[in-house]
Amino acid sequence: MNEVKNNNIILRVENLTKLFGTKKTLAREMLKKGHDKEEILKHTGVTVAVNNVSFEVERGKVFVLIGLSGSGKSTVVRCINMLQPPTSGKIYFEGQDVESFSKSELLDYRRNKVSMVFQSFGLMSHRNVLNNVAFGLEIRGVKKSEREERAMEMISMVGLKGWEYSDISSLSGGMRQRVGIARALANNPDILLMDEPFSALDPLVRQDMQFELLSIQEKLNKTVIFITHDINEAFKLGDTVAIMRDGKIIQIDTPEGMSSNPADDYVRNFINSADKAQIYCVRSIMQTPTCLVRTRDGANHALKQMKINGVSSAFVVAEKMQFVGILTLENALKVRAGELAYQNAFIRDLPTTTPETHIADLIPIAAEASFPIAVVDENNQLSGIVTKASVLASLI
């Protein structure tokens, strides 16, 4: 049983420790004696980035390392591809000690086995999308036609077809990270190291990208080591989640296991913060109203707008986008039939919200509301609308 399991382990990290500073010997002794990170820093000037970390990653699974900034998670990934050589401890890739690699073996390992995706993308602004994606292949010495073909394939897989020859500077953040992912995948690596790849992105774009990653993962079945500080992202993506604090791993478990059985208060608090609605405010999920009519328009115009947009209600605004209320299809028809005056047809006493409101506070309103909720600023100007669906989606 054990044998079978081991065969499936692609990466094993044993007692990994990484110290930064000059007086490392002294620091290591203090570590052994059980002094904590701050004491060691004060005494020796050595930063303990990673402290005796061990874990295993199964082939084809997503392993998530989560922790606050400074918890050492980024250092762990950089040790895996030897951007940072470990101070002590071992890293085995398919049973081989990564640290024992010769120079050329190390290059080979980086070129073919592990690829990395960076938080701020790490793209080269002097190259266009295609040449960024083909970079890894170019380094490997792959022929130009061949590498471009492969890069094109990757670009279309991440949904950037048509952007091949664009400058990086012309892309949005989400698109840039797609380039980063395509670049990492172009090498066809066994392991994808992702260092907070989505942290620099807007919440909505981030959700998109998470979805994208899951679908790519489904297609290609890569092993992914994913770093994040967002417990939601961790639970959403991870087959296994390891939570780090002050350079140590506190708990490794499945998301389910961790939720139901947190190792300590720290983990419990972390999981509680998963209530994403606490983090997001309305602005991040609000949309532009598709169907908008003005008080000086008539019922016919309103009906036409509803028809064009395929909706059954329209938001009504006065001069300067002052929010008035909602005109339903029903009322509009009544106005046209002469049963109701246009000015009296609006439903006025509607709940509104502001862009700064936390989504959590919006939930009770959303639950009651029968129309999308209007988002207005302090001057009662309509800034956008929030649909029930988007409130729910943000909670997933």
Partner 1 sequence: MGGVSVLEDWLFKFPENIYINIKEPIDGAIDYMLRNWEPFFDVITKVLRSMLSGIGTFVELIPWWLLISLVFIATYAMSRKILRAILYSVLLFFIGAIGLWDLMNQTLTVVISSVIISLVFGLPIGILISSSKRANAVVRPILDTMQTMPSFVYLIPAVMLLGLGNVPAVIATTIYAIPPVIRLTSHGIQQVDVEVVEAAKSFGATKAQALFKVQIPQAMPTIMTGVNQTIMMAISMVVTCSMIGATGLGTEVLIGINRLESGTGFAAGIAIVIVAIIMDRLTQGIIREESAPNE
- Interaction of residue 270 with partner 1, rule CB under 8 A: no
Q: How many residues bind partner 1 (CB under 8 A)?
A: 34
Mark residues 122-161: x for contact with partner 1 by CB under 8 A, - for none.
xxxxxx-------xx-xxx---------------------
For the stretch 214-217, contacts whose Cβ atoms lie closer than 8 Å and that sit 24 or more positions apart, written own/partner, are 216/157, 216/158, 216/181, 216/185, 217/62
Q: CA-based angle 184:181:389, to the nearest 5?
A: 160
Nearer to partner 1, 37 or 73 (CB): 73
User: How far is residue 136's CA from residue 5's CA, in Å, rounded to a whole number?
Assistant: 32
- Interaction of residue 330 with partner 1, rule CB under 8 A: no
Q: Are residues 141 and 179 in contact, defined by beta-carbon separation less than 8 angstroms?
A: no
Backbone angles phi, psi at 229, to 5 degrees: -115, 5
- Interaction of residue 174 with partner 1, rule CB under 8 A: no
Give least dist CB 138 to partner 1, A: 7
Q: Are residues 318 and 294 in contact, defined by beta-carbon separation less than 8 angstroms?
A: yes
Task: Identify the residue among 13, 155, 191, 193 touching partner 1 (CB under 8 A).
Answer: 193
User: How far is residue 362's CA from residue 373's CA, in Å, rounded to a whole number?
Assistant: 9
- Interaction of residue 168 with partner 1, rule CB under 8 A: yes
- Interaction of residue 83 with partner 1, rule CB under 8 A: yes
- Interaction of residue 110 with partner 1, rule CB under 8 A: yes
Q: Are residues 299 and 344 in contact, defined by beta-carbon separation less than 8 angstroms?
A: no
Helix intervals (H) in 168-254: 173-186, 203-220, 231-237
- Interaction of residue 176 with partner 1, rule CB under 8 A: no
Classified as helix, coil or strand, 393 is helix
Task: Identify the residue among 16, 27, 93, 118 touching partner 1 (CB under 8 A).
Answer: 118
- Burial status of residue 375 (CB atoms within 10 A of its CB: 0-12, 13-18, 19 or more): buried
Nearer to partner 1, 200 or 340 (CB): 200
- Interaction of residue 95 with partner 1, rule CB under 8 A: no
Nearer to partner 1, 137 or 241 (CB): 137
Stretch that binds partner 1, among 26-34, 106-114, 212-220, 239-247 (CB under 8 A): 106-114
Q: Which of 277, 296, 282, 278 is nearest to 372 (CA)?
A: 282
Task: Identify the residue among 31, 57, 79, 121 touching partner 1 (CB under 8 A).
Answer: 121
Nearer to partner 1, 154 or 303 (CB): 154
Site residues (vs partner 1, CB under 8 A): 78, 81, 83, 106-112, 114-116, 118-127, 135-136, 138-140, 167-169, 183, 187, 193
